[in-house]
Amino acid sequence: MDILKKTVEGIAKHSLEVINRVDPEQVDLMIDTIMNARSVFIVGSGRSELVGKSFAMRLMHLGFQVYVVGDVTTPSITSNDSLVAISGSGETKTVTIAAETSHEKGAKVVAITANTESTLGENMDVAVKIESKTKIPWKHHTSHVLKGNYDDLTPMGTLFENTAHLFLEGLIAEFMARMGKKEIDLKRRHSTLE
């Protein structure tokens, strides 16, 4: 289990470092954007979609009206809504199309990305920059974080996905504190049909 433990330690250390460098102003903006939205839409692809769904469930538990792009019950987005778009490279087609359309419709777009100088960047209002290695290399890349030797043990987008996920877990705690919500409040909204 040495490699297993070393990998988990590596992911944890990396995530904490990267989250410490996230711009607090953008985090406040993200919270305000979600608080002021009539409905919150979430989009991601592959493992980033799973990260988004995990966040979506907790936002629902907090009382927000949340929709995942691609779900059959997701309506059209309006200027009263906001979109949280998750893409390490900022170039995932399904994500950039959703961000562009949302932006055109007047919805606020929050980007969770490693690469703010990407196609996603052109349509975002708020940017939470997660400076992790992602699946796809990109041009304007300056972070020294990526120079680690975890490449093989944390393949492709692993570091970005885990850091984004842990950031969003922490953000749920921020929401709880600011909204004065306790665990019991979230439990009341938790689905019991499965």
Question: Catalytic positions, please?
Answer: 161
x/- binding map, residues 122-151, to its own copies, per CB under 8 A?
Answer: -------------x---------------x
Q: Cβ 194 to its own copies, closest distance in Å?
A: 5
Q: Cβ 79 to its own copies, closest distance in Å?
A: 13
Query: Which range in 65-73, 109-117, 118-126, 140-148 contacts its own copies by CB under 8 A?
Result: 65-73
CA dist 107 and 105 (Å) reads 6
* Residues recorded for the chain: 194
Residue 73 binds its own copies, judged by CB under 8 A: yes
Residue 112 binds its own copies, judged by CB under 8 A: no
Window 34-63: residues binding its own copies (CB under 8 A) = 41, 43, 45-47, 50, 53-54, 56-58, 60-61
Query: Taking Cα atoms as reference points, which of 193, 48, 70 lies closest to residue 120?
Result: 48
Q: Cβ 165 to its own copies, closest distance in Å?
A: 8
Burial annotation 157-188 (CB, 10 A radius, 16+ → b, else e)? bbbbbbbbbbbbeebbeebbeeeeeeeeebee
Query: Looking at this protein, which amino acid is placed at residue 39?
Result: S
CA dist 109 and 59 (Å) reads 16
CB nearer its own copies, residue 93 or residue 141: 93
Window 148-177: residues binding its own copies (CB under 8 A) = 151-156, 158, 161-162, 165-167, 169-174, 176-177
Query: Taking Cα atoms as reference points, which of 67, 90, 93, 70 lies closest to residue 80?
Result: 67
CA dist 72 and 127 (Å) reads 28
Window 85-104: residues binding its own copies (CB under 8 A) = 92-94, 97-98, 101-102
Q: Which residues contact 194 (CB under 8 A, 6 or more apart)?
A: none
Residue 108 binds its own copies, judged by CB under 8 A: no
Tally of CA atoms within 13 A in the half-sphere of 168 that contains its CB: 27
Q: Cβ 177 to its own copies, closest distance in Å?
A: 5
Q: Cβ 105 to its own copies, closest distance in Å?
A: 8
